[in-house]
Amino acid sequence: MIALAPYLLWIPLLPLLGALVLGTAGRRFGRSDVNVVACGTVAGALVLSLVAFVSVWHGRTLVWVLPWFSAGRIQVTAGLTADRLTVVLLLVVTGISLLIHVYSTGYMAGDPGYARFFSFLNLFVGAMAILVLADNLVLLFIGWEGVGLCSYLLIGFWYDDDAKATAGRKAFIVNRVGDFGFGLAVFGLLALYGSANFGALLRAATASPPSALLTHGIFAGLTIQGALTIIGLFFLLGVTGKSAQIPLYVWLPDAMAGPTPVSALIHAATMVTAGVYLICRISFLFALAPAAMLAVSLVGGITALFAALIAFAQNDIKKVLAYSTISQLGYMVMATGVGAFWAAILHLVTHACFKALLFLGSGSVIHGLHGEQDMRKMGGLRKRLPQTAFAFGVATVAITGVLPLSGFFSKDAILGLTLETGNRLYPWAPWTLYLLGSLAALGTAFYMWRLWAMTFEGAPRTEAAGAAHEAPPSMAWVDHALAFLSIVTLGLGLPLAGGAPLERWLAPVFSPAVHLLPGLILPRGEGVPWATYGVALALAWGGLAVAWALYVGAGRALPARFAGAFPGLYRLVANKFYIDELYASLIGRPLWGGSRLFWRLLDAGLVDTVLVRGTAATAQAFSRRVLKPFQDGDAQRYAAVMALSAFALLFWVLR
């Protein structure tokens, strides 16, 4: 049943109004007033999201539509819709955002840009809500660009630091590359189907077989499947930018330059999952393009393993978590590529909880050590920061899967479904992806328990670690709330006989992709894949055992000896396989050099010298040499010239 729900508009509008108030008048507010506006508007959005969830629970699909613009035969509306997928994302966005807003009231206390920071946070929540609620790709793109803008503003929040400002620009530029692909994909769908509305796209996709030949338009001569493959690959380019996948992942590690709550909110819990949400929202289109789905799954699987390898040798606590985020996003993207859409959303939800907790926990550690982020200068914090250690430990267990907490069921559901679901045209893909994902799972367990051991176990390695102090209550209770969510969300992925609860909840959303279309996704089998769950549990414990032996047990000297024995390999991994340097050599420096050349030739040479200064110099010379002699102050000559001119004019008229 479809129900008109104008209150959907207020879910993004409340935080946007908060951003407007804080951005224009926040400097005149006291700290408590800023807290009320920032946290209150997000809390209001959360309450309305809960109302929407209850309505959808009772079988209603909520809509709010307003005419927007038209271009020829294409009509675009500013429509919002809330179905089963939407309300899940809304609760994640508004719920996690509210907790991080509260955490930030303690973390950012005393910062001179306090009101500005919360203005940017509110702006982000509003943009993300638009992205999730949009009923068409054009409006979704507005939210997509909005969160990209907020990412730039928040990463470079401390803009007086050149490194942080550079990180913000890097994120902005890299995301523009992906957004270009997104825009081309939208134009392709408009050319193919004449609409960007999700409902209209579903009806059009089901109306014709994928083998139908197109006879006109930019895709003339291709089948519908071929056209959708091209469009899907352009969408994938957008996903690699926003969700930090190979090859456009390079902005996310540098994004850790922003305040820690930014890392938790934008780069762990919400914004970077926008690409995963996009693929799930248009899953019925990807189901018709097997080659595009294969590319999606391979990009995700390779990214998951590649980022895990880099995390092995990082010593900055936030950099380890950054590469962990890239790896976990790879799992989600891989799941969408094999048709396990519900598992991707499940891991999105659980990851939002435990990764936000890991970042906020690292923020508590950094706060307690007065800004120190190098794990080699930590140690022994389990006894000095017991509350932080408890919450951080819960998140570590959840992400590594050594016990069946939320991350175990979500991540290992993905691994199991890579074998049960697959692409009919590429039978080798399931086992390849399962191997990539399993190795990444082993790596996740290793680098996360390495982080835990270097940070919380042993003896303090510096005076700062020995004198560490707990975070204020506003930060501590948020950590515990996220720890609670990291535990209870395991219920969403319990492998029950009739399917996991979230799988059953999202089944109506993904049924067109899996069942209704003449698609190419193999439906999952019946029963619980106990064997794959067992393998995943063994991998998690194996990674824990190796990390514990090397960083806590008798093998503590081995990492340094290994680095000394293989210095080239260690530098290769520690320097992130020199991908940033490669991009700088192939793209950055040539563009910089080329732009300086064009600046000298065109801007400084042609425009400034010839057109601007040259025009001025020519006018000056003409006036000095030609006009100035007639303007020497001789009144008699002025009168004579005027008389002769009047006589000539009169002669011309009367002749």
Spatial separation of the C-alpha atoms in residues 539 and 519, rounded to whole Å = 34
In this model, does residue 519 exceed pLDDT 50? no
In this model, does residue 650 exceed pLDDT 50? yes
Q: Angle, nearest 10°, between helix axes 406-420 and 317-337? A: 40
* Percent of the chain that is helix, strand, coil (3-state, to 5): 75, 5, 20
* Mean pLDDT value across residues 622-643: 76
CA angle 301, 325, 317 (to 5 degrees): 130
Q: Residue 72 is encoded by which pair of tokens? A: 């020829």
DSSP 8-state class, residue 518 = S
| 3-state per-residue secondary structure call for 615-653 | HHHHHHHHHHHHHHHHCCCCHHHHHHHHHHHHHHHHHHH
pLDDT tens for each residue of 260-305: 888 888 776 678 889 999 999 999 999 888 889 999 999 999 999 9
pLDDT score, position 215: 79
pLDDT score, position 265: 82
pLDDT tens for each residue of 151-204: 899 998 888 888 888 888 888 999 999 999 999 999 999 999 888 999 899 988
pLDDT score, position 201: 92
Polymer length in residues for the chain: 655
pLDDT score, position 422: 58
β-pair type (61-64, 2-4): parallel
pLDDT band at 119 (very low <50, low <70, confident <90, very high): very high
* Mean pLDDT value across residues 243-255: 90
**For the chain, how big is the Rg over CA atoms in Å?**
29
* Mean pLDDT value across residues 530-534: 78
pLDDT tens for each residue of 297-328: 999 999 999 999 999 989 999 999 999 999 99
Of 97, 104, 96, nearest to 31 (Cα)?
Answer: 104
Of 497, 448, 429, 436, nearest to 302 (Cα)?
Answer: 436
Neighbour-count burial of 636, counting CB atoms closer than 10 A to its CB (0-12 exposed, 13-18 middle, 19+ buried): exposed
* Mean pLDDT value across residues 612-618: 79
Q: Residue 33 is encoded by which pair of tokens? A: 């007033």
Bigger pLDDT: 25 or 214?
25
pLDDT score, position 487: 92
pLDDT band at 505 (very low <50, low <70, confident <90, very high): very high
Of 497, 583, 512, nearest to 339 (Cα)?
Answer: 512
Spatial separation of the C-alpha atoms in residues 306 and 563, rounded to whole Å = 19
pLDDT score, position 442: 93
In this model, does residue 471 exceed pLDDT 70? yes
306 close to 253: Cβ distance less than 8 angstroms: no
* 370 backbone φψ class: left, alpha, beta (φ>0; ψ -120 to 50): left
pLDDT score, position 587: 82
* Single-letter amino acid, residue 129: A
333 close to 292: Cβ distance less than 8 angstroms: no
In this model, does residue 518 exceed pLDDT 50? no
* Mean pLDDT value across residues 432-452: 93
Region of poorest pLDDT, from 35-49, 67-81, 134-148, 287-301: 67-81
* Mean pLDDT value across residues 563-568: 82
Backbone angles phi, psi at 80, to 5 degrees: -115, 145
Burial per residue of 84-118, b for 16 or more beta-carbon CB atoms within 10 angstroms, e otherwise: bbbbbbbbbbbbbbbbbbbbbbbbbeeeebbbbbb
β-pair type (74-77, 2-4): unpaired
In this model, does residue 550 exceed pLDDT 50? yes
pLDDT band at 425 (very low <50, low <70, confident <90, very high): low
Bigger pLDDT: 295 or 623?
295
In this model, does residue 520 exceed pLDDT 60? no
pLDDT band at 524 (very low <50, low <70, confident <90, very high): low
* Mean pLDDT value across residues 602-614: 75
Kindly give, in sequence order, each residue whose CB lies less than 8 Å from that of residue 356, ignoring residues fewer than 6 positions away: 96, 99, 100, 264, 265, 268, 269, 482
pLDDT score, position 43: 95
Region of poorest pLDDT, from 39-48, 385-394, 423-432: 423-432
Cβ atoms within 10 Å of 440's Cβ, excluding its own: 28
3-state DSSP call for residue 69?
strand
pLDDT band at 542 (very low <50, low <70, confident <90, very high): very high
* Mean pLDDT value across residues 353-380: 88
Of 118, 148, 155, 137, nearest to 23 (Cα)?
Answer: 118
pLDDT band at 430 (very low <50, low <70, confident <90, very high): confident
- What mean pLDDT is reported for the chain? 86
In this model, does residue 80 exceed pLDDT 50? yes
* Mean pLDDT value across residues 504-512: 90
Neighbour-count burial of 40, counting CB atoms closer than 10 A to its CB (0-12 exposed, 13-18 middle, 19+ buried): middle
Q: Looking up tokens 């990214």, which residue turns up?
A: 303
